[in-house]
Amino acid sequence: MKKYKILINGEWIETGKWIDVVDKYHLKPFASIAAANADLVGGAVAAADKAWREKPLTPFQRYEILMNSGEILKRRQDEVAETISQEVGKTFKEAKVEAGRVINNFIIAAEESKRIVGEIIPADAIQGNENRFCFTMRQPKGVIGCITPFNFPFNLVAHKVCPALAAGNAVVLKPASATPISSVMMCEILEEAGLPAGYINLVPGAGEEIGHALLENQDIAFYSFTGSPKVGKEIAQKTGLRQCSLELGSNSGVIVTADASLDLAVEKCLRMAMANAGQVCISVQRVLVEEKIKNDFMDLMLEKVKELKVGDPFDPETDIGPMISEKEALRTEAWVEEAARQGALVLHGGKRIKGALFEPTIIDQITSDMKMWCEEVFAPVLCVATFKEFDEALQKINDSKYGLQAGVFTSNINKALEAAKVIQTGGVIINDAPSYRVDNGPYGGIKESGIGKEGVKYAIEEMTNLKVIAVNLN
């Protein structure tokens, strides 16, 4: 079993305490990593603070480090994907895509590091401000505290670390306890690419202990969190006047109108309800189908779901790997049973197979008060309800405490644009699942899905201070 050290101020250290990391398919530890503690968090933040203040990197240096990182990752992509697959349980195919997205994120961040610009403010456009020269500049905020979830342990770390470094900040990273090893690889890659000591520090450990120590530390200027709404709310309360971005959960909805391509809608909805065993913040959970095509939609859906193979993530034939833990699979089973007791119809699946493997599940006759519909299920479960009028569908999609992304399948441009205008989410995806995300675009929810935007360019705005300079030329 391989043992991994953690990185603080450029030193790889052991701490005397180890966290076992479990292979989610075999449910046996495959690696362990040194656990940080509150003192080490203090040391990591101090090192990061010193790095960005005393060894500032020019935009060109940041560009070079991030581009080099992309090149190194190209070489290590299979090895990283193997680790992601083992620690999350997602299929190797999915893990390879995740690692590939990080190559892109390094390149996007490298390019963005050269485009952090201010603007000239025409002060004399306001009477009485003649002979004033005003401009703005963006400066690094300082130490960025990153707290990340288990489901995309490499790409969601990249979505924080890449913009933070591109903007000239330094990072203290706390990965999810279930999936910390790919973060070691992120640090190794950046180190090999030439990132100076102190710019990235890795502090794995339990959320309550290490997360708490990070939130207490007043030298962290900005927190970038992705995870559950419960922890997100706690972070918002504790950070006070310090800023944070919170990328939280969802119960993403899809509308399928009678004029849509049925094949496309079924294929995308099913694939994106089951990807990563349904553990994606923008998984397809609630599907609203126009009543007159409901039977055709369900027939095709049930035909396709039977083709899905659940099992070993390293088997190229596998479509769905295990969930993150047996506990989560049991929790999902209990939710399905509760929905069935309340009158929902389980048309396919609904059961834990063994360990953390869960059957792809299709549920019909669901009502909006059922947990399966109104809470985030975060499991390979797709729920179906119907609508008669398009307005009714829009209203049902919006009837959610979450607002991350929504999907609309229609061939009617007016309906598509009406949906884009009316749906209350951070993104509306036309003729695709709500799970579509392009890594150089803005991404983030409203309502209980969070605050702030990710996507390198947009995260850079959040992770920099906008300063105005005014010169009196009189």
Q: Which residues are the active-site residues? A: 247, 281
**Considering only 50-58, 94-102, 225-233, 354-362, which stretch makes contact with ligand NAP by CB under 6 A?**
225-233
CB of 262 closer than 8 Å to CB of 296 = yes
For residue 234, the minimal CB distance to ligand NAP (Å) is 5
Q: Pick one of 153, 211, 253, 434: the residue that binds ligand NAP (CB under 6 A).
A: 211
Say how far apart CA 240 and CA 143 lie, in whole Å: 16
Q: Pick one of 1, 206, 466, 468: the residue that binds ligand NAP (CB under 6 A).
A: 206
Site string for ligand NAP, 439-458 (x = CB under 6 A): ------x----x--------
Angle of the 294-305 helix axis to the 262-274 helix axis, nearest 10: 50
**Which residues inside 175-194 make contact with ligand NAP, applying CB under 6 A?**
176-178
Q: Pick one of 100, 207, 355, 442: the residue that binds ligand NAP (CB under 6 A).
A: 207
Q: Does 462 bind ligand NAP (CB under 6 A)?
A: no
**Considering only 55-63, 92-100, 137-145, 150-158, which stretch makes contact with ligand NAP by CB under 6 A?**
150-158
For residue 89, the minimal CB distance to ligand NAP (Å) is 13
CB of 21 closer than 8 Å to CB of 181 = yes
Compare residues 51 and 377 and give the one whose CB is closer to ligand NAP.
377
Q: Does 208 bind ligand NAP (CB under 6 A)?
A: yes
Q: Does 335 bind ligand NAP (CB under 6 A)?
A: no
Site string for ligand NAP, 8-47 (x = CB under 6 A): ----------------------------------------
CB of 187 closer than 8 Å to CB of 44 = no
Say how far apart CA 153 and CA 86 lie, in whole Å: 11
Q: Does 228 bind ligand NAP (CB under 6 A)?
A: yes
Closest CA to 344 of 377, 378, 385, 375: 385
Q: Given 3-state DSSP classes, what are the helix, strand and coil percentages for the chain, each rounded to the nearest 5?
A: 40, 25, 35
Q: Which residue type is seen at 448?
A: E
**Considering only 112-120, 203-211, 270-278, 336-344, which stretch makes contact with ligand NAP by CB under 6 A?**
203-211
CB of 431 closer than 8 Å to CB of 103 = no
Compare residues 177 and 398 and give the one whose CB is closer to ligand NAP.
177
For residue 436, the minimal CB distance to ligand NAP (Å) is 13
Q: Does 59 bind ligand NAP (CB under 6 A)?
A: no
Site string for ligand NAP, 243-282 (x = CB under 6 A): ----xxxx------------------------------x-
CB of 121 closer than 8 Å to CB of 134 = yes
**Which residues, including other chains, have CB under 8 Å from residue 174's CB and lie 6 or more apart?**
36, 145, 146, 147, 148, 203, 204, 205, 207, 210, 211, 214
For residue 178, the minimal CB distance to ligand NAP (Å) is 6
Say how far apart CA 237 and CA 454 lie, in whole Å: 21
Q: What torsion, rounded to 10 degrees, do the Cα atoms 174, 180, 186, 191 define?
A: 70
Site string for ligand NAP, 396-415 (x = CB under 6 A): --------x-----------
- Concatenated DSSP letters of 241-303: TSEEEEE-----EEEE-TTS-HHHHHHHHHHHHHGGGG-STT---EEEEEGGGHHHHHHHHHH
**Which residues, including other chains, have CB under 8 Å from residue 236's CB and lie 6 or more apart?**
244, 246, 451
Compare residues 211 and 322 and give the one whose CB is closer to ligand NAP.
211
**Which residues inside 278-297 make contact with ligand NAP, applying CB under 6 A?**
281
Say how far apart CA 249 and CA 256 lie, in whole Å: 23
Closest CA to 284 of 259, 305, 303, 258: 305
Q: Pick one of 64, 234, 333, 418: the residue that binds ligand NAP (CB under 6 A).
A: 234
Compare residues 290 and 376 and give the one whose CB is closer to ligand NAP.
376
**Considering only 35-43, 78-86, 223-231, 258-266, which stretch makes contact with ligand NAP by CB under 6 A?**
223-231
Compare residues 27 and 416 and give the one whose CB is closer to ligand NAP.
27
**Which residues inside 87-146 make contact with ligand NAP, applying CB under 6 A?**
none
Say how far apart CA 9 and CA 31 lie, in whole Å: 23
Number of Cβ within a 10 Å radius of residue 39: 10
Contacts to ligand NAP by CB under 6 A:
147-151, 156, 174, 176-178, 206-208, 211-212, 226-228, 231, 234, 247-250, 281, 376, 378, 404, 445, 450
